[in-house]
A = this chain, B = another copy of it.
């Protein structure tokens, strides 16, 4: 008996409930889960698994698993399973607050890597063996192929690597998703890799569906549950000022470099501020723009409807609940405008460099030399993870990082003498923007960068402190290439930890 979503008889025969499917997972298993920035993650099996784990723990039996995903997921996966103390090891990117709290309490091991590297590294085998893949799809074709859901992430790889596969077929996902995916089956490990034949963001190089060996599918679970992404914070004055600084820069740069009216493909990172910038870009002088990016945010749908964005290529949706609803109701309208690809393609350095993406990402803190920390608050507490920011920042045409100049009501300066952790080295950070201004650092030496960042980006409340540090470093430093004082460089973080403020 097949349903309209499960049109392959053999797989329809494997329909079961979430608890029965979760019962197929063993303690210690490595699970490959679908999901990328709150989209397309399994919503029933992880909850059932968390319940089972809690019951086992209550009975005194240890039960933890290793979880690999595309990127962040939703409360039903990372939240429920972390709450149950069910995750021993998690990779690659997390933004769930409960999982974050466990990681920062030292109760969960977390391995954060470049999102384009996850699939190849899994294939290389040293991360270990994958036992079970749990993958949300939006449907199953009569031939037994899988229609992907609202994210692609690492699903192709998980479906191929896992011993067993559990599918969740989510009726909530729009049927119009069918045809919006481009699954590239041309990857190989060295020495057999070949050029990826993509030269424009809208090139199709693969097929719309995942292949699957039906014999590996051990359970199919039907769901009807929305993606639960973070709500969209409407841009505040700070975000609008940052967006306006970026727009001025792009307009100037397009003229200087003779870029086409469609500019170059946009990449926009995750977080409130990048989201707001996309919303601001709707007022641009550019026409027929494209995005070659990781996630499709609210602002991109608006830009498509406004006619400024011609199309977007990504690996996942990252829409607020309202916008996800809107998309589901109007999906047909976006059919020829959106393409979702595996994350080792959406974030591939070969492609990001070839296309010349304009990379725009958020940051936690930057230092006077332009090194960026995107991940570790006070050097030790993980916020989310590096995600794809490194894939884009190192390879794009220009790499822009943005942040409000202060955090926590002014108690923290986003511009510090030395970042407490480095995700993006100064070579990969060409422009830094705050609501105060924009520093174009291209081609500048460390001391030239420092002067510009402090002048253009720092908050006035911290600018004199930074200038005094630079003056002291110009005297006491071991070398004068990039003057720094090891005894003082991280003192602002120490002061914050002791007093709750970086202000002296």
A interface residues (Cβ-Cβ under 8 A, vs B): 89, 91, 103-106, 109-114, 117, 121, 124-128, 189-191, 193-197, 199-200, 256-257, 260, 262, 264, 349-350, 353-356, 371, 376-382, 386, 390, 394-395, 397, 418, 420-423, 425, 427, 440, 442-445, 447-448, 473-474, 477-484, 486-487, 489-491, 493-494, 497
Contacts and interface: CB of A to CB of B under 8 A. Distances in A.
Given A114-B427, A378-B479, A445-B110, A191 B486 contact: no
Given A423-B425, A443-B128, A445-B89, A190 B356 contact: yes
B486 A420 contact: yes
* Across the A-B interface, the 3 shortest Cβ-Cβ residue pairs: A190-B356, A381-B479, A106-B480
B104 A481 contact: yes
Most buried by B among A189, A190, A197, A422: A190
Nearest to A90: B445
Nearest to A440: B126
A165 B443 CA distance: 23
A482 B195 contact: no
Contacts of A104: 479-481
Contact of A486 (B440, B445, B484, B497): B497
A376 B190 contact: no
The prevalent SS among residues of A at the interface is loop
B256 A477 contact: no
A444 B66 CA distance: 12
Contact of A444 (B111, B440, B481): B111
A390 B189 contact: no
Contact of A256 (B126, B127, B191, B490): B126
A126 to B, nearest CB: 5
Contacts of A356: 189-191, 193
A18 to B, nearest CB: 29
Contacts of A103: 480-481
A468 B136 CA distance: 46
B482 A486 contact: no
Given A199-B195, A380-B478, A427 B117 contact: yes
Contacts of A379: 418, 478, 482, 484, 486, 489
Most buried by B among A371, A378, A477, A478: A478
A422 B420 contact: no
Given A110-B445, A420-B484, 18 more contacts: A109-B445, A125-B257, A126-B256, A126-B443, A189-B356, A190-B356, A193-B353, A193-B355, A195-B195, A349-B350, A376-B482, A379-B478, A381-B478, A381-B481, A386-B427, A423-B425, A486-B494, A487-B491
B193 A196 contact: no
Contacts of A382: 479, 481-482
A174 to B, nearest CB: 31
Contact of A422 (B353, B425, B494): B425
B478 A354 contact: no
